[in-house]
Structure 1
Amino acid sequence: MVETGERILVVGPSWVGDMVMAQSLFKTLKGRDPQARIGVVAPAWSQPILERMDEVDEVAGLEVGHGEFGWAPRRRLAASLRERFDRAIVLPRSWKSALVPFLARIPRRTGFLGEQRYALLNDRRRLDKAVLDQTVKRFVALGLTAEEAATGDFAIPRPALRRDDVNLTALRERLGLSERPAIAMMPGAEYGPAKQWPLAYFRTLAETLVDDGYEVRVLGGPKDAGAGETIAAGLGHVHNLCGQTRLADAVDLLADCRQAVTNDSGLMHVAAAAGTRVQAVYGSSSPAYTPPLTDNAEVHYLALDCSPCFERNCPLGHTNCLKQLSPARVLAAIRAEG
Structure 2
Amino acid sequence: MNQAQNILIRLPNWLGDMVMASAFVKAVKEQYPNASIDLIAKKGIDFLLDHYPAHSQHFIFNKETYKGLGGARKFGKEIAAQKKYDLFFCLPDSFSSAVMAKASGAKKVVGYKKELRSFLLTHSYQKKKNIHRVEEYVDLLQQFTQINIHTPSVELNTILPERKNSVIVNINSEASSRRLPAEKAISLINSLRKSIEQEIILIGSPKEKEFVDSVYNALTDKLHITNNAGKTNLTELLILLGSSSIMLTTDSGPAHVANALGTHTIVLFGAGNENNTAPYNKINSSTIRLGQLPCETCLKNVCRKFPQPECLNRLSETMIVEKVKSVINNP
TM-score range, shorter chain: 0.7 to 0.9
In 2, are the aligned partners of 1:225 and 1:240 still within 8 Å (CA)? Answer: no
Partner of 1:244: 231
Question: Does residue 128 of structure 2 align to residue 128 of structure 1?
Answer: yes
Deviations 1:24-47 (A, max 9, x none): 101111222333332221211121
Partner of 2:289: 301
Gaps of 5+ in 2: none
In 1, are the aligned partners of 2:178 and 2:250 still within 8 Å (CA)? Answer: yes
Partner of 1:289: 276
1:13 positional shift: 1.3
Partner of 1:46: 45
The one-letter code of the counterpart of 2:117 is R
Deviations 1:153-174 (A, max 9, x none): 8532221112334xx69xxxxx
The alignment of Structure 1 onto Structure 2 pairs a total of residues equal to 318
Partner of 1:8: 7
Gaps of 5+ in 1: 170-178
| TM-score, with structure 2 as normaliser | 0.87
In 2, are the aligned partners of 1:259 and 1:277 still within 8 Å (CA)? Answer: yes
State which of 284, 300, 308 in structure 2 corresponds to 1:311: 300
Partner of 2:110: 110
| TM-score, with structure 1 as normaliser | 0.85
Question: Does residue 186 of structure 2 align to residue 203 of structure 1?
Answer: yes
In 2, are the aligned partners of 1:180 and 1:213 still within 8 Å (CA)? Answer: no
1:113 and 1:326 map into 2 onto residues whose CA distance is: 40
In 2, are the aligned partners of 1:185 and 1:218 still within 8 Å (CA)? Answer: yes
1:56 and 1:48 map into 2 onto residues whose CA distance is: 14
Q: How does 1:1-338 map to 2 (within 5 A)?
A: 6-65=5-64, 68-69=67-68, 71-72=70-71, 74-82=73-81, 83-130=83-130, 133-146=131-144, 148=146, 154-165=149-160, 181-190=165-174, 192-211=175-194, 212-233=196-217, 235-294=222-281, 295-304=283-292, 305-317=294-306, 319-337=309-327, 338=329
1:34 and 1:154 map into 2 onto residues whose CA distance is: 14
Aligned residues: percent identity?
Answer: 23
2:228 and 2:69 map into 1 onto residues whose CA distance is: 33
C-alpha change, 1:200 and 1:306, in structure 2 (3 Å) is same
Q: Name whichever of 234-243 and 306-315 sits farther off.
A: 234-243
1:288 positional shift: 1.1
1:222 positional shift: 1.1
CA-based RMSD:
2.5
SS in 1 for 2:229: coil
